[in-house]
Amino acid sequence: MSIPQSVERTLRAAVLVACAGAALSAHAADAANVALARLDCGSQPEPVSVASFSDTMEHPDLKLPLTYSCYLVRHGDRYLLWDAGNALDGSARAPKVSLVDQLARIGVKPGDVDYVGVSHHHADHTGQLASFPGATLVIGQGDWDVMRASDPPAGMDAKDFAARRAPFKPWISGGKVETLTRDRHDVFGDGRVLMINLPGHTPGHHGLLVKLDKKGSVLLTGDVTHFHENYASNGVPTWNTNRADSLASLDRFKKLEANLDATVIIQHDPRDVEKLPVFPEFAE
């Protein structure tokens, strides 16, 4: 007995809907859980002058404590380390516990870290980078060009330049590097963890956007800004490499905050530390 065409069309449509539903369910089941944690990468608990953080002399008498924060993004069973903090050099601002030892608390070894993303090449963001030589380094092209150059940039002597480059040796020597030239970089390929191009502080400076299921979007500043007062007034540090780019990056960052209703975490401001759970807990 033949099936009427109208019934056949209905059956076909039902099968297509069922298949599409199954595909969506499978995709949802396969979607990686994303979580974010803060790691301690040093501190300057005694207030210090931040006068040089404004090239318009906005804060001549302001003193603030500063913190140095690194972050771990867990994407399913893969990991991104965002910034690598101060070196364990015994200085006042050096962390008391290494990144390697902090990660060991949750059973993560250096070889388990897939990516190390650096906001920029300054020493307080790269001090322990060489502890993760097997990871892929993800860095803005402008900053990588500085680190690969044979001569130090203007204003830096050869000794300081050699010290700045030292944490990058595993990658200068041939380790895996992804250099970023586009507007944003999708670290894991699903739109959940994005490095955002925010030049000005350095030529290849980036921030990080992490989209969490429960907490929502989180924006990590890198050094697009350093403390609440400067963020409020679009303050530009005297040592930034490009003032116009710095202001454009601040404008973009604030619009991302507004459009995504994002939680902004200023990495150097201790007032933002409590925006994430105390490690080893993660925000999800």
pLDDT at position 1 over 90: no
pLDDT in tens, 128-144: 999 999 999 999 999 99
Q: Which residues contact 144 (CB under 8 A, 6 or more apart)?
A: 177, 179, 204
pLDDT at position 9 over 90: no
Distance separating alpha carbons of residues 71 and 168, to the nearest angstrom = 19
- Phi and psi at 214, nearest 5°, equal -95, -45
Distance of alpha carbon 65 from its chain centroid, rounded? 22
Q: Are 237 and 256 in contact (CB under 8 A)?
A: no
Distance separating alpha carbons of residues 253 and 219, to the nearest angstrom = 8
pLDDT in tens, 246-262: 999 999 999 999 999 99
Q: What is the pLDDT of residue 31?
A: 81
Name the band, by pLDDT with cuts 50, 70 and 90, for residue 7: very low
| Cα–Cα separations (whole angstroms), residue 51 to 46, 232, 238, 246, 252 | 15, 16, 9, 17, 25
- Average pLDDT of the chain, as a whole number: 91
Q: What is the DSSP letter of 191?
A: S
